Amino acid sequence: MATIESLKQSHDIRGLIRLLDHGSPEIQWRAADTLGTLGEPACDPLISIIDFPKVHVRIGAIEALGDLRNPRSVNHLVRKLKTDPDNEVRWVAALALGQIGDPGAVPALQLALKDNDRYVRYGAVKALETLGWTPATDIEMACALIALQDWQGVRKLGPGAVGPLIDIMKDPNPVTRTKIVGLLGGIGSSAAKKTCEAALLDRDPEVRWTAVLACKRCGTDTHRIPLIMSERQKTGPSAIGAAILNLFFFGLGYQYIGKWWGFLVFMSYMTIMVFVQLYGNLVFPFIYIYPFTAVSAVQTYYAVKRMPDM
C-alpha cells in the first residue's frame, strides 16, 4: 500500500499501470482506484492498455477510466462494450460509461441490453438508469426488465416481451434460458411457440423439460413434442466413438463411457498382443482378435445407445 501511495505522490502513472498486473488482487484493485484519481494525464496511458491481453489489466484500466470521467474515453469504452470477448470487461465498460455520464453512450448501452451475458445486460441497464434513460416503448421496457431479471414485470408486459425474450435465448446460461422458456410458455404467441419448440433441442435438460411444459401451454400437438426432442444433439458419449475404440483398442471404449476398469482391460489386451507378437511368430495378431473385439464393439454401441440422455 505504501508503494501505491508513493507512486501516487510522484504521479508515476506507468508504475501504477504495472501494478494492475500485480499478483495480489488487492493491489490491482488499489492501483486501479488510485489511477482513477490522477486526472487528465492518466487518460491516454489507460486508453492505450484497454486491449491488453490479460483480463484483470483491462478491467483495472476501465475501472480507472470510469473514475476519471473523461469524455475522450467514451468511444474506446463503447468499442470494448461491443467487442470485448470477456463478459467481465464488457460489464465493467458498461458501468464505466454510466459513471462518465455522456448521453452519447446511450445507443451502445441500449444495444448491450441484448448482450448474451446477463451481467453485461445488468450493467447496461444500471448505466442507463444513471444516465437518466427511461424506456420509451414496450420493447425497450421489456429489454430493461429482462436485464434487471424482473421476471414478474416481464410477465405483466405479455406479448410485447416476446421479441426481447427470444433475443436473449442465446444466453449461454441455462438458468436464464429456462426462465425465458417458462415465460414464453405463459405468453403463448405463435413466435413464442416456435421458440419453445426450438428449446426442445436445447443442450440443457432443465431447459428441455421447461420447454416440454411450455410447448403444451403454447398449443403444440402433444405427439409432436417427442418427435422434435428426438432430433436434439446427444450430450452423452458417442456410440460410434465407443464402438470404434473397443474394436481397435479393446478396453478404451469402456474407459471412454466411464468404466474405471476400461484402461485396465486395454493394458491387459495390449500386453497379451505384444507377447503373442514376440513368442507366437504372428506378424499382425490383431487380425485374429478383431472378430472378438467386434462383438465387444457392437455390445458397447448398443449399451451407449441405451444410456438415458433426456
Report the residue from 110, 189, 238, 296 that binds another protein according to the rule CB under 8 A: 238
Which run of H or E residues covers position 7? helix 2-9
Stretch in the footprint of another protein (CB under 8 A) among 61-69, 102-110, 139-147, 155-163: 61-69
Report the residue from 3, 15, 29, 213 that binds another protein according to the rule CB under 8 A: 29
Q: What is the dihedral of CA 128, 117, 183, 139, to 10 degrees?
A: 40
Q: Are 205 and 181 in contact, with CB atoms under 8 Å apart?
A: no
Closer residue to another protein, CB minimum distance, 220 or 300: 300
The answer to whether 254 contacts another protein (rule: CB under 8 A) is no
Residues with Cβ < 8 Å from 13, sequence gap 6 or more?
35, 38, 41, 42, 45
The answer to whether 182 contacts another protein (rule: CB under 8 A) is no
Binding mask 274-303 for another protein (x = CB under 8 A): ------------------------------
The answer to whether 96 contacts another protein (rule: CB under 8 A) is yes
Q: Minimum CB separation from another protein for residue 82, in Å?
A: 16
Residues with Cβ < 8 Å from 139, sequence gap 6 or more?
160, 163, 164
Q: How far apart are the first and last CA of the chain?
A: 54
Please compute Rg for the chain using Cα positions. 28
Q: Minimum CB separation from another protein for residue 241, in Å?
A: 4
Q: Which of residues 136-175 bind another protein (CB under 8 A)?
A: 149, 171-175
Which run of H or E residues covers position 234? none
Q: Are 68 and 39 in contact, with CB atoms under 8 Å apart?
A: yes
Rule CB under 8 A: which residues touch another protein?
Answer: 25, 28-29, 32, 55-56, 59-60, 63, 66-67, 86-89, 91-92, 95-96, 99, 117-119, 122-123, 126, 149, 171-175, 237-238, 241-242, 244-245, 248-249, 252, 255-256
